[in-house]
Amino acid sequence: METIKAVFKNKDLMRKILFTLAVFLIYRAATYITMPLINPTQITQFFEGQGGFLGIMDAFTGSALSNYSIIALGIGPYITASIVIQLLQMDIVPILKEWSQEGETGKQKINQVTRYLALSLAFIQALGMTYGFALTNDAIFDIGVEPTFLTYTYLALVMTAGTAFLLWLADQITLKGVGNGTSMIIVAGIIAGMPGMFTSLTREYVIDGTGFGSYAIFGTVVIMFILILIGVTYMQSANRKIPIQYSNRPSSAKFKGKSASNIPLKINSAGVIPVIFAVTILSVPQTMLSFLPQLANTTIGTWLNEMFNYQRPLGYVVYAVLILVFTFFYSFVQINPDKMASNLQKQNAFIPGIRPGVETENYISKLLFRITIIGALYLLVVASIPIFTSVIFGLPAYIQVGGTSLLIVVGVAIETTKQIKTDVQGKSYSGFIR
């Protein structure tokens, strides 16, 4: 409560929060500006009850995709481009690795390349998606427009411009608002769909419910959502601290305790990226089946549905394995034990009882592997909860208990809260000095 009071007393911080909320309103208004030359009703009907990758994309964009608005792609292409560029910096493209070591100048160059790649991916994705919808239902152009290559190109350019506009809004939040702009835009889209989800849940199981069973399902889902929210918040903040000492500092008691140095390793250092990777890989054949329904009853279609649909037993096994593999891979990408050991040695720091150099690297690697086991299982459980709850309780596709969306919202909320507290404390210290 003291922090909340301090926030309202801090005029600069309140100005940032109001600016961020204003950007959210602009973003929300843009989700209702539909694409030109398109009959959006047909696409909205296509998304009814749609789950999987398309359902997740729609949730991330605040229903902009199902509305087929000018920002239907959201900033998904930028996220994909960022991951690709980050992976290419691992000695795959030497120039990118050189830029990553050049400080702020190199960071700006990498950011510029990432944006160019994001817009290219957005154009390709928009072109393929519009053509896919046209294959599914020709009625999307049922407004007197002949679907030609120029038509598809024009629509792809408009949608790419929408993604560029969102990237600009995200930059404005980062510069003048609160939190990381890219993350805040994603969270805004997810949160925008939550009131509708709970409204639909209440209408289906309380207002239109029949008997005690419907009320029991409603209560169980709400309680599960609250418990999962608390659990995810705890796990997102959990970390394993590695104590370190500096050879050029005294080791007397007065330098220990709260002032002791340590390196915190997050239990889930990979974040939500492994789940997104897994869903993306599974989504390719699933999206193809959605756009080409004539394949559904063929042998190939049946095999693809069993293999890549995580609501099927075999598909779930593939989904789980992908999450576990990507969690370990991305954790070791984010935290490089070799680089960490080298930096400690340069700073004349060491882990008590561990020799600098190779032994330190091996110690960090083993510790990271052990805590990543917990993080990977945690991610798998959270990602699996929506699947099992929909099967057990027969929940519709639009009701998600847990899952990727909740991971993103909680993670961004924790980081934004830390930034707000830092701004409040900075203001307090400034006032004290004056």
The number of angstroms, rounded, from the C-alpha of 348 to the middle of its chain's C-alpha atoms is: 37
Give Cα separations from 230 to 129, 159, 234, 293 (angstroms): 37, 37, 6, 40
User: In 173-211, which positions are buried (b, 16+ CB within 10 angstroms) versus exposed (e)?
Assistant: beeebbbbbbbbbbbbbbebbeeebeeebeebbeeebee
Handedness of CA 298, 303, 308, 310 (dihedral sign): positive
271 closest CA partner among 419, 42, 82: 82
Q: Could you tell me the two tokens for 86? A: 């980050």
Give Cα separations from 201 to 36, 209, 378 (angstroms): 33, 10, 26
Check whether 14 has a pLDDT greater than 90: no
Q: Kindly report the pTM of this predicted structure.
A: 0.78
- DSSP designation for 69: B
User: For residue 119, what pLDDT is reported?
Assistant: 93
Tell me how far apart the alpha carbons of residues 70 and 126 are, in angstroms, rounded to a whole number: 10
- Model confidence at 253, in pLDDT bands (50, 70, 90)? very low
- H or E element at residue 245: strand 239-246
* Residue whose structure tokens are 């796990």: 235
- Model confidence at 27, in pLDDT bands (50, 70, 90)? very high
**Is-contact 307 314, C-beta < 8 A?**
yes
User: For residue 434, what pLDDT is reported?
Assistant: 47
pLDDT in tens, 170-218: 999 999 988 888 888 888 888 887 777 788 778 877 877 777 778 888 8
Handedness of CA 382, 383, 389, 391 (dihedral sign): negative
For residue 189, the cross-strand partners are none
- 390 CB-side CA count, 13 A: 19
Tell me how far apart the alpha carbons of residues 36 and 38 are, in angstroms, rounded to a whole number: 5
Query: Quick one: average pLDDT of 285-306?
Result: 72
User: For residue 18, what pLDDT is reported?
Assistant: 92
Tell me how far apart the alpha carbons of residues 131 and 134 are, in angstroms, rounded to a whole number: 5
Tell me how far apart the alpha carbons of residues 410 and 238 are, in angstroms, rounded to a whole number: 13
- Model confidence at 4, in pLDDT bands (50, 70, 90)? confident
Tell me how far apart the alpha carbons of residues 95 and 91 are, in angstroms, rounded to a whole number: 9
The number of angstroms, rounded, from the C-alpha of 217 to the middle of its chain's C-alpha atoms is: 28
For residue 265, the cross-strand partners are 240
**Is-contact 429 422, C-beta < 8 A?**
no
pLDDT in tens, 215-240: 888 888 888 888 888 888 888 888 88
Check whether 7 has a pLDDT greater than 80: no
Query: Quick one: average pLDDT of 89-95?
Result: 79
| Cβ-based neighbours of 94, under 8 Å, separated by 6 or more | none
Domains defined for the chain, CATH in brackets: 11-200 (1.10.3370.10)
56 closest CA partner among 272, 201, 205, 269: 272
Give Cα separations from 207 to 199, 396, 404 (angstroms): 10, 16, 29
